[in-house]
Amino acid sequence: MDRLFLLRTLLMSGFLSASMLASFTEKLLAADVDPRRPQAIEAEGVPQIPDDLWQRLRQYQNVRQAAFRGWAPDGNGILIQTRFGNTAQLHRVYQPGGRREQVTFFDEPADGRFIPSVPDGTLLISIASGGNEQYQVLATHHESSQPTLLTDGKSRNVLGPVRPDGLFAIVSSTERNGRDTDLLIVDPNRPGERTTVLQTDGEMWMPEDWSAEGTRILMRKYVSINECYPALLDLSSGKKTLIPIPGEVKSAYGTMRFSSDGQSAWLTCDAAGEFRQLARVDLTSMEYQWVSKDIPWDVKEVAVAPSGASIVTSGMVAFTTNEDGPSALYLLSGDKAQKLDIPMGQVENLEFSPDGLHLGFTLLRPDRPSDAYSMNLTTGELTQWSFSEAGGLPLHSFVQPQIVRFKTFDERQIPAFVYRPARASKDHKVPVIINIHGGPESQSRPYFDGLTQFHVSELGMAVIYPNVRGSDGYGKTYLQLDNGPKREDSVKDIGALLDWIATQPDLDSSRVAVYGGSYGGYMVLASLTHYSDRLKCGVDIVGIASFKTFLENTSAYRRDLRRAEYGDERTAEMQAVFQKIDPLNNADRIRTALLVAHGKNDPRVPFSEAEQIAPKVRANGQTVWTLYAGNEGHGFAKKENRDYITAAITLFYLQHLKPE
């Protein structure tokens, strides 16, 4: 901006000749071009990234991670998702530690699974373009190099459960009108043939599992994270049978799975208490049998041993719990649940092997990249299948978080994960980054993040991940403490965290930044409007600047789901609340530097949110850096974009937090 002002001054004064003007302009524009900035990113106010910073970041940006995506139906290996180029793709691994055979080759990130019971390695693939989340479902057959499109190529289509014999799959689709999400059946062998099995009207029905005999679907109507309604769908008649909720109280339902014999269903539900417990429901009598009532944490994932599995594991059920952030893994045989021994971290994507003797999953650890693992259920032996590179960095150098709790304004204890650099001490206070999760019904849990590790290990900054009120994982009462007009109570929790930081002898309360994405971006902006005098800067990633305009402009299929959490902007009460709390209406109170990054194709938090807030804060005379990606949506999925943006964020911290 200073160079442009100088150019305009020189032009108006007549000081420059035509030839001098051309030369000066060429040099001016060249000075503003960062050769490492991807073509798809528009940047304003962002200096050129120094070479030494690029070099220091390189190893941390090249850490790979892998996720388990299922067992090969022929028993010959597993499917994983990992990245070797610019985007994550699907790879087959034939033995633990063996080579990774890439099986999808798209410019966009690809996810998917094997079709069960089909031994030729046929895949169902889910892919969207430019981050727009208009997912399409494709099938790749072993004998054909070209994937075939199974959906319409335009609407949003989310791949759901696949019939156990592999003949059909359920897809949740907005094809009919772009707003309502209907359930369709697609045939991997007959592209273009789609059959509607449930037409919705303003409701969100989420398919969870397909029965072994292929005639029924377990599903739930999702109203909000606090309110769901489970049901059975008969595919031959189209009849929908509600599964009763114990006590007829408003309840949340999560994972739903048929038992191996199809006579009952395994459900996670919070009707019997604060947490989502595991229950077995008889599908004839509809009676509930509570299985995990002695575990005071949410049950997250459930996997059922396949029918026809080994007699050793026949009827077994595996489930995970979220125990203060890390996962615990249990194996249920009869009425007895055995806790299995796993490293600290999160367990995701549980699946029994076709013979039922092994359990596959992703293990996300805080001190090393995530990888695919399996456990031998007869011996308890843990096997690592993928070995993701840590960018050449020694694993022992990575920092593990400490779980802490701090008191907030209403005497509640707020949990947080704190990553402290080794050099932090009372004689060497370190700056702090507060990283606030989105959702808002999400939860910060311990997992590996290369950028966090760089900021802690290389730059000597502490990083704190708080789980403010409204976070998942701490019971349904805690989850609802920020709903509707109580929104800013969660912002007060950040104020309490700033108080806590001031009590820590090794943390520098005069050098604190806030960072957050999506709803976390709102929390960043709201924190800056309330605590600018206590913060040095903020980083807003795809964040909400105004709940009013966000709810008016978010994608039609999700608008009512968000109103259930944030409040309905069409009512007078919530209009008044939003008028008061929206950062856009309080931008004049932001008196710190701000970085705003957003994808132009974002279907959740529209790009217009970034376009509104950045000029408002600039008008305050504050430093504002903006990074807008034309080929991304709600986040940054392409490595070249992510590398540049994380480097810019780091430079932003270096300038404003000044770590030593």
Strand 136-140 and strand 227-234: pairing?
unpaired
Burial class (CB in 10 A: 0-12, 13-18, 19+), 160: buried
Q: What is the pLDDT of residue 18?
A: 46
Q: Partners of 182 in the beta sheet?
A: 173
How does pLDDT run across 81-100, given as a tens digit for each residue?
999 989 999 999 999 999 99
Q: Are the C-beta atoms of residues 58 and 350 closer than 8 Å to each other? A: no
Burial class (CB in 10 A: 0-12, 13-18, 19+), 200: middle
Q: What is the pLDDT of residue 43?
A: 97
State the SS3 of 456-470: HHHCCCEEEEECCCC
Q: In sequence order, which residues have a C-beta less than 8 Å from that of residue 382 and are 6 or more positions away?
A: 341, 342, 373, 374, 375
Q: Report the C-alpha gap between 541 and 524 in whole angstroms.
A: 9
Q: Report the C-alpha gap between 80 and 591 in whole angstroms.
A: 46
User: Locate tokens 């037409």: which residue?
Assistant: 199
Q: What is the pLDDT of residue 353?
A: 94
Domain extent listing, the chain: 41-61+398-544+595-657
What token pair was written down for 217? Answer: 């679907």
Dihedral (Cα; 465, 478, 483, 468), 10-degree rounding: -20
Q: What is the pLDDT of residue 29?
A: 41
Q: What is the pLDDT of residue 122?
A: 87
Q: Which CATH class is domain 41-61+398-544+595-657?
A: alpha beta
Q: Report the C-alpha gap between 230 and 248 in whole angstroms.
A: 12
Task: State the DSSP string of 541-592.
Answer: ES--S-HHHHHHHS-GGGHHHHHHHH--TTSHHHHHHHHHH-GGGGGGG--S
Q: What is the pLDDT of residue 312?
A: 60
Strand 462-466 and strand 507-517: pairing?
unpaired
Q: Are the C-beta atoms of residues 602 and 634 closer than 8 Å to each other? A: yes
Q: pTM score, two decimals?
A: 0.92
Q: In sequence order, which residues have a C-beta less than 8 Å from that of residue 439 and are 6 or more positions away?
A: 470, 471, 472, 518, 519, 520
Q: What is the pLDDT of residue 557?
A: 84
Task: Using 50 as the pLDDT threshold, list the residues of the chain that sit under it.
Answer: 1-31
Q: What is the pLDDT of residue 143?
A: 62
User: For 167, phi and psi rounded to 5 degrees?
Assistant: -80, -30
How does pLDDT run across 536-574, given as a tens digit for each residue?
999 999 999 999 999 999 988 888 888 888 888 899 999
